[in-house]
Amino acid sequence: MLDLAHWPEIISRAAQSRGGLVALGLLLLGAALRVLFGRAGDPPWVRLLAFAMMIGGVVWFIKLSVAESQRMEPVAQRFEGDDRDGDCDVNRTKSYEHCLPETSKVTSWDGPTPTTANCGSGIAGITATSGKPNCVTVTTILRGCGYGMIHDCKGTGWIHYAVTVHGVRPGST
């Protein structure tokens, strides 16, 4: 026999999986059939109360099913970027796009942090990529060290950076 004192716990456990949701749906269907084709001697108020409880259960079941289908899970990915140029007088910016899996949405990021750079090269900024909710765009500044008096190269520009992108994606059920 089913112990009704543990009913909320049973429903909660069952609702944590798709199979459990199906089982709850079948249970509600059984309750509906019981209400509609119940005992002949039941007073009308008993059937009315059971019907109201069944409708409430159906509404709850639908809300729970929708919430289950919209469950999101966190996702994070580390990206590295590298920009180099052999021109000792280089002075330019360049943008690099880094994307989480397609069904994801970026929520935040750590960095970008230059791991190595030369001659004033660095990070100009990072933004969420317009029209792509799963991507960020990192813009680098690349600068060479220039030439000396006898046209000798003082150093070429380079930058290497890392950025960790955080987001959410639909969870598995």
User: Taking the domains of the chain in order of start, what are their residue ranges?
Assistant: 4-69, 72-170
- Three-state DSSP class for 104? coil
What is the structure's pLDDT at 71?
78
Average pLDDT of the chain? 80
In angstroms, rounded to a whole number, what is the distance separating the alpha carbons of residues 84 and 116? Answer: 11
Cβ 126 vs Cβ 111: under 8 Å: yes
pLDDT in tens, 91-117: 999 999 999 999 999 999 999 999 999
What is the structure's pLDDT at 46?
64
Burial class of residue 163 (count of CB atoms within 10 Å of its CB; 0-12, 13-18, 19+):
buried
The confidence band for 72, taking pLDDT boundaries of 50, 70 and 90, is: confident
| Residue 21 Rama label (left phi>0; alpha psi -120 to 50; beta) | alpha
Cβ 112 vs Cβ 152: under 8 Å: no
Residue 168 in this model has a pLDDT that exceeds 70:
yes
**Higher-scoring residue by pLDDT: 172, 93:** 93
Which residues, listed in sequence order, are joined to residue 160 by a DSSP beta bridge? 82, 116
Residue 124 in this model has a pLDDT that exceeds 70:
yes
pLDDT in tens, 74-87: 999 999 999 999 89
Token pair of 108 as six digits: 């935040």
What is the structure's pLDDT at 1?
43
What is the structure's pLDDT at 151?
86
Cβ 126 vs Cβ 79: under 8 Å: no
What is the share, in percent, of the chain residues with pLDDT greater than 90?
A: 52
Residue 32 in this model has a pLDDT that exceeds 90:
no
Which residues, listed in sequence order, are joined to residue 126 by a DSSP beta bridge? 138
The confidence band for 130, taking pLDDT boundaries of 50, 70 and 90, is: very high
What is the structure's pLDDT at 49?
65
Cβ 156 vs Cβ 141: under 8 Å: no
